[in-house]
Structure 1
Amino acid sequence: MLVNSANDVNGSVTKLFQLAHIVHGSAVILNNARQTSQALPLLDPFSVADISSRGMISQSMIDLIITHEAFKLFRTTDNILSIAEIYFRTMHSCLPFISKEVFYGRVGGIWTQPKGDFALLVICMHTLPQTFINGITEAVKSPVYALAKSMLSLIESANILTLEIVQSRLLVCLYEMGHAIQPAAFLSVSIAARGGVTLGIHKSCAQQTLSNHKNWQNYEEEKRVWWAIFILHTYINLLAGSCHFVTEDPSVNDQLPVDDELWQMNIVSDQPSLSLLTPTNIRVGPFARAVQVTHILRRVLTHVLKVTADPIFNADEAQQLDDTLKAFAALLPEQLSQSSTRFCGALGICTSQRWGIAALYLGYLQDISSTA
């Protein structure tokens, strides 16, 4: 077990805001893992509020605090690599919004070049494989989950916002969704959405990915983070039976994620990016297909929860949605057989929506008959 004890991590959460080290000039925050294991000085007599009001929380301090907590949790780079291997083998195959190439390229310097946002990303990644006997009660009390939430609050209170922080929020949201921790999951994805808008990553879907774009890997990652927010936010609204979206509906011309395998291998396609309205007969990757089906899901939610007074219009729209779902439903089983389980999410969303639309359509026909 990577954590020495629950008391150790819980104790670090309690003292999180007290652990700090102010770096001046060319002083190095953290030279190696051995230095990290040494006790850090306490900032007495200042309280957390005092530190904030005096402007003493710097990014260097935040980097040190979170990296120190990550070291206490993982101890070695090998342990981090083990966690990453589990993540990229499981959750990543369903919702690929973290670049493997970028992630593994940064792991080697996690202790020598500490960055709080990256250390936070690793900690949040570690929350996902946890399982509990007592369900939600034990999941809420998880020391790793408590640590992740505390450090998210810490780094955000220091007015720091990066793509890694938004990704960390999404990982925590996935943990909360998996353990039915509500309304925390809704709040997490909503904060991630606001953070994404602040960073401007929502605009990445509206632009063509150029094959000669020198930062196309990062550009594609931003696009995938935004689409992941879109998927999770829509799904949480489905569970809540609502359509209160904090993000705008995507444009039909917004660009889908590129093929997952090409992205992972860092291969730039010479083909133009495909839009949200790409026909079902054109091959797209599993994540892109999940985006398309989720877009239909959002339309279904709006259709169901914001019914107009015109039964004929309602019936026509229901028929149109059902026809679209039929096209996906006919295609996805074939793609599923070719790509193992990677299309399971899209197929599940599509099938569940068809049952709902079918029931509504019958109701609309009855309304039309009664008014005829």
Structure 2
Amino acid sequence: MKRLRTDQLKKGMVLGESIIDASGVVELLSKGTALTDRHIELLSNMSYESIVILEDHDELVKTVDLDVNKLNSEARKNGEAFDIEKLLKDLEEVDGHVYEPTERSAVNRNMEIHVLTGEGNIPIDVRHEKTLESTKEVFKKLQDTGDLDLDQIRENVEDILPDMIRNNDVLMRLNQLKASDDYTFQHSLRVSILAAMVGKWLGYSHEELVELGEAGLLYDIGKMNIPDYLLKKETHILPEEFELLKKHAQLGYSILLKTKGVTTNIKYAALHHHERMDGSGYPLRLREGQIHDFAKIIMVCDVFDAMITDRPYKKGVSPLLAADYLSWSSGKLFDPEVVYVFTKKLSEYYTGKNVRLTTGDVGKIVFVDQNYPTRPIVQVGEKFVDLIKNRSIHVEELM
């Protein structure tokens, strides 16, 4: 294998390592992917400096084994340690599971949504902070006692859901949320909000929206059983570490399986949210109809938020570039109906937004062609920049 700069990449080269987003757990492109011109353009626009490429295709069949002692040694380098015996016990439990075929969620589409009143006078950032702290307390109790307070999770979703449903400009709502040092909790809450919005756009009933919101808060719960140092790690993640990170979907399913009252829909959302339509995901390498409907929504929201969120060691990309990645991957990695609804509804609120282009110019979006929702026309001073015609220019920041 060799590491190349993105400007050295050529069509047909094969990835030697998966392309992982800044959160360290969302797989954007799988190991073994043959690069296309579009891949290379996206990687360049997402500021990846270098990529590992296979020199010999036989290298692709090499597997990475989980070496817990090596992981513990890496943890100590980062000034931490973890309970090896507990981790081994958790992994043994996961390996012992027999996963039944997916029970598809029976979603009632196109129902009229009557979503409640809520306390409209409470600012969204105050409500968000309250929900975030409450969710953190629930997760801490889970770590301390092994008990998950599902009633509190449901209450948290019902508390914040009305504000989300009233306002379709979800990007504005997300921008109003206060930043938090607890990325895992913050990210889960944002995914819960996004998933509920997508469910609304797809015509889910109120009860289904609440359940989907719960799934959004709980889908990453398996990370509670991943060594803390790994979730905080800012340097390059080792292949062995990524193999452990990928176990979080199964670890989450295991936790939810033991929690009374958790629905099948929520369990499958946790287990399947890293599966992909073409079978390239993990942990079960499922395809299309084998993947649960809730997971198809959450995987899109998970990737989108992970891509747009700033981290200490990597700046997030613009929502338009993240949506562009989703659109390009539609049908291959992500459910086309979910991606279409998600990107179309987002684009309805781009018009009038100020943006910075990759040229450095600052302007305003004045028109969005619904056939190309991520390539708007931007007015910069007296001139108009049509991003459909100027494919080399992208929206770098939505201001």
**Structure whose alpha-carbon radius of gyration is higher:** 1
What TM-score comes out, normalization by structure 2 length?
0.27
- Tell me which protein shows more helix as a share of its residues: 1
